[in-house]
Chain A
C-alpha cells in the first residue's frame, strides 16, 4: 500500500507541473492557432513526462515487487502484477518497451542494488509461453510431470529470486530474422542476452561484441548449472571445436536449439530417392511443384549441393580421412567462380521451382499446391504434425550430398551487459534455467525444434523422446533407433536406443533427432567475409531480377511502335492547334 501512495503523489506533482506549463503558455498566446500548436506540444510533452516518470517510481527501491512488462512476440504486452495494490501502476506501465527501458535506465543510474533488469531478445515463437490445457501435461517414465503454466521467462524470475535471492525483471522481446536482429543492434538497441543463429554468433564474435561466460558458468559441481551438466556431448564437441579469433564458440555461446535442413515431401508423389538429394530443386519431373527458401544462405547451400553433387557423393571423397573438414570447405566455397556458376544454376532453379517462400511452404504442401519443400528440421516436424491433423502424411528426407547443421545459441552482448556482474549472473542463470531438462522439454513440445540439451545424468529428455515417439509395447512393426551420439557422445552406446513404430521412419522422430549417419555428412555454414557476402548478395539479386537481355524482340518492336505512335499523335495535335 505504501508504494501506491507514493505513486499517487508523484502523479499529482507531475500533473500539477503540466497544468502550470499549460496555463502559462495559454495565457501568453491566447486566440491564435500558434498557441494551440504549442498547447498540443505541451500536452504531448506532459504525457510523455507522465509516462516516463511513472515506471521509474513503480520500481521504488524500498518495496519493489517484481513487475513484468514483456511482449509475447506478437506485439501484445503482458502485464503481470505480483501485488494487486499496484494495479494502477501496472495500467500506466503498459507503454511497453519504451517505458520499460526508461525504467531500467533510471534503475542503472540510481540505486542499483535492487531489481536487475535482463533484456532478452529471442526469435519469435521460440519459447514456451505456458497456458497449456490440463490434458497436455506429460507424465514421463522417470516420474517427472511436464506442464507449462506460465511463460518460461516469467517463471525464471521467481526461480532466480528463490535461488539467488535477487529480484530480476525480464524484458522479453523478439526478432524475425538474423539480419533484422543485426540491424537492430547496429542501430543502437540494447540487449543483454540474444539468441541468434550460428553465423551471426560468429560475426558478433569477430566484432568482439560479445561477453565470455564466467568460470562459474562452467562449474559442473554447481547444482544450478543445468547447461554444462545437460548439454549434449555432441553439441558440446561442435561448440568446442569451432573457433573464431582463436577462441572456441563454447566460451561465448551456449546452444539453444539445433537442427538440419532437408526436404519435406509428400510420399504419395515423391519417392524417398527423389527427395533425398538437393537435385530435387532442379528436377524437371517436379517442375513448378517444389519450393525453396527465399533466403540467400539457405538457397545457396542447396544449390551448392546440386552443383557439387558428383564430388560430394563420390566414394573417394566420402571415404577420405579428412572427410568432414573437406566437406566443410566445399560447402563454404565462396570463390567468385563458384558464386557465378551457382548463380547460373539458380537461374534454372528459379524457372523450375514453384516459389521462393519463407513461411507459406508448409501450408502449400498440405493443401497440395506443391509436393516438396526445402525445410528446416524443426519446421518440418511442425508441418508433419499439422498435416496429420488434415489427413495428409508427409515425410522428411536429409539430402545425401550434405546437410546444413545449424544452431541458435545464447550470447551476452557487451553493449547490454556493460560489465555489470549482476546482469551477467542473471543472464547466465537464464541460460541455465531454459536448459533445465523439464524446460527444454516444454520448449521442444511448444516450438517443435530440438533442444541442444540431452540432460546429462537426468533422463527427462530421453524419456520425452520415448514418450513422444516410442512404440507401444504390443506393437510389432518397429525399428530400433540409436541416439547414442547425441545423448552419450558415442555412436555405439547401447543406452539410448528408442524403439519406434515403423511409420516414424523418415518422419517426426528422424527429423527431430537426426541419425548419426545423417549427422556425419552435415556441415556448418560459416560466416562469410564482407567481400564474399557482398558477392553472394549481388548474385542473389541478379538471380531474382529480370534481365533486360531476356526481353523478346517482339516486345521491343511493339514498345517502339507505341512510342512512335504517341509522338506522332502529339505532333499532329500541335500542328492542328497551330492552324486555328
Chain B
C-alpha cells in the first residue's frame, strides 16, 4: 500500500463538519429565534425586553459579580501556589501538580455534594450565605484551571532576568512588579479566561448549594422551560456577545503585552 498523503485542508474536514453541525447551524437557529416572536415575525422586542427588565439586568450583574469574585479568588490562591511550585527545587514537581489536578478526576457533582456537607458543618445553615457558598463552590471547581496555565508560564520564567534585577539593586517587591508579574501575564490571562467564562453560567453549582438566585445559565433555562424559546435565545445571544467582547479584549491585551512571548495555554 502506498503511503497516505494528508493535505492540511483535508485534515481539517472532520472538525469543520463537527463545527458546522453542532456550532454554526445551532447558532443560526438561536439567532432566528432571538429575533422573531411566536408568530415567526421579525421583532426586536426580545432585545429591548432584556435591557428594560430590571430583573434580567440584575441577573447579568449578579452573574458578572459572581464571576469576577470567583476569578479574583482563584487568581489570589493560584498565583502563589504556581510560583512556589515552579520555583521549588523539588524533583517530583509533576507529582505535586498532579495533586492539584487530582480533584478534577472525581465527578463534579460528587465533589459539590461533599462540599455541601462540609460547608453545612462550618456555617450551620447554608441558606444564610448563598453568594459566599457559590464563590467557594466555583473556586473549588475551577481552581485547577487557574493553577495549570500559571504554573506552565512560571516554569518558563527565565531565572537570569530575576538575577539581573537583583544585581541591579531591585528589591523583592520591585522585582515582582517589574519582572515576574509582566512576564506571567499570558498565564494570568488564559487562567482568567478559563475561570471567568464558565463561572458566569455554571448554575449547577448554585443549584446544588441552594442558591436560589438565577444566574445567566439558569435564566436561559427557565425561559426555555416556560416555552419562551424566543426570549431564551435572545439571552443566550446576548451572553454570547458579552463573552465575545471579553475574549477580544483579553486577546488584545495579550497582543500588546506579550507579543511572540508565548507560554500561555490558550
Contacts and interface: CB of A to CB of B under 8 A. Distances in A.
Q: Do A and B bind each other?
A: yes
A33 B6 contact: yes
Given A356-B212, A537-B226, A545 B61 contact: no
A204 to B, nearest CB: 15
Interface in B2-18: 2, 4-7, 10-11, 13-14
Contacts of B61: 546, 548, 551
B225 A548 contact: no
B5 A542 contact: no
B210 interface: yes
B10 A541 contact: no
Contacts of A555: 65
B219 interface: yes
A551 B58 contact: yes
Contacts of B214: 541, 544-546
A294 B4 CA distance: 57
A541 B226 contact: yes
B59 A33 contact: no
B212 A545 contact: no
Residue picked from A33, A37, A289, most chain B C-beta under 10 Å: A33
A415 B57 CA distance: 42
B213 A545 contact: yes
Nearest to B210: A355
Nearest to B3: A31
A355 B127 contact: yes
A374 to B, nearest CB: 14
A301 B170 CA distance: 69
Interface residues of B, number: 36
B175 interface: no
Given A33-B13, A355-B212, A537-B226, A369 B57 contact: no
Given A540-B222, A548-B57, A31 B128 contact: no
B201 to A, nearest CB: 15
Interface in B110-142: 120, 125-128
Interface in A178-203: 179
B47 interface: no
A546 B59 contact: yes
A354 interface: yes
B55 A288 contact: no
B212 A33 contact: no
A545 B13 contact: no
B54 interface: yes
A350 interface: yes
A35 B69 CA distance: 51
Contacts of A32: 5, 10
B79 interface: no
A534 B229 CA distance: 12
B152 interface: no
A354 B58 contact: no
A37 B13 contact: yes
Contacts of B127: 288, 353-355
A60 B11 CA distance: 45
A33 B11 CA distance: 8
Contacts of A476: none
B180 interface: no
A549 B54 contact: yes
A34 interface: yes
A540 B219 CA distance: 11
A354 B4 CA distance: 63
B4 A33 contact: yes
Given A33-B4, A540-B222, A545 B58 contact: yes
Contacts of B10: 32-34, 37
B55 A542 contact: yes
B178 to A, nearest CB: 13
Contacts of B55: 541-542, 545-548
Contacts, number: 89
B165 to A, nearest CB: 19
Residue picked from B7, B55, B56, B120, most chain A C-beta under 10 Å: B55
Interface in A7-37: 30-34, 37
A46 B116 CA distance: 49
Contacts of A544: 212-214, 218, 222
Interface string A268-300: 000000000000000000001100001000000
A37 B58 contact: no
A251 to B, nearest CB: 27
B223 interface: yes
B62 interface: yes
Nearest to B2: A31
Residue picked from A32, A289, A353, A369, most chain B C-beta under 10 Å: A369
A564 to B, nearest CB: 16
B228 interface: yes
Contacts of A223: none
Contacts of A34: 10, 13
A74 to B, nearest CB: 16
Contacts of A354: 125-127, 210
Residue picked from B2, B4, B218, most chain A C-beta under 10 Å: B4
Contact of A545 (B14, B56, B228): B56
Contacts of B56: 545
Nearest to A182: B227
Interface string A526-557: 00000001100110111011111111000100
A32 B213 CA distance: 54
A540 B13 CA distance: 45
A37 B214 CA distance: 44
A33 B226 CA distance: 46
A558 to B, nearest CB: 10
Contact of B120 (A294, A369, A533): A369
A34 B226 CA distance: 45
Contacts of A179: 225, 227
A553 to B, nearest CB: 14
Residue picked from B54, B57, B212, most chain A C-beta under 10 Å: B212
B163 to A, nearest CB: 25
A139 B127 CA distance: 47
Contacts of A542: 53, 55
Interface string A489-529: 00000000000000000000000000000000000000000
Given A31-B2, A350-B212, A355-B127, A548 B58 contact: yes
Contacts of B212: 294, 350, 353, 355-356, 544
A311 to B, nearest CB: 28
A355 B128 CA distance: 11
Contacts of B218: 544
Interface in B189-210: 210
Nearest to B213: A546
18 contacts: A31-B2, A31-B4, A34-B13, A37-B14, A350-B212, A354-B126, A355-B212, A369-B125, A533-B226, A534-B228, A538-B226, A541-B55, A545-B213, A546-B55, A546-B59, A546-B214, A548-B57, A555-B65
Given A34-B13, A534-B228, 20 more contacts: A32-B5, A33-B10, A37-B13, A37-B14, A179-B225, A354-B210, A355-B210, A537-B222, A540-B226, A542-B53, A544-B212, A545-B214, A545-B219, A546-B59, A546-B61, A546-B62, A547-B58, A548-B55, A548-B57, A548-B58
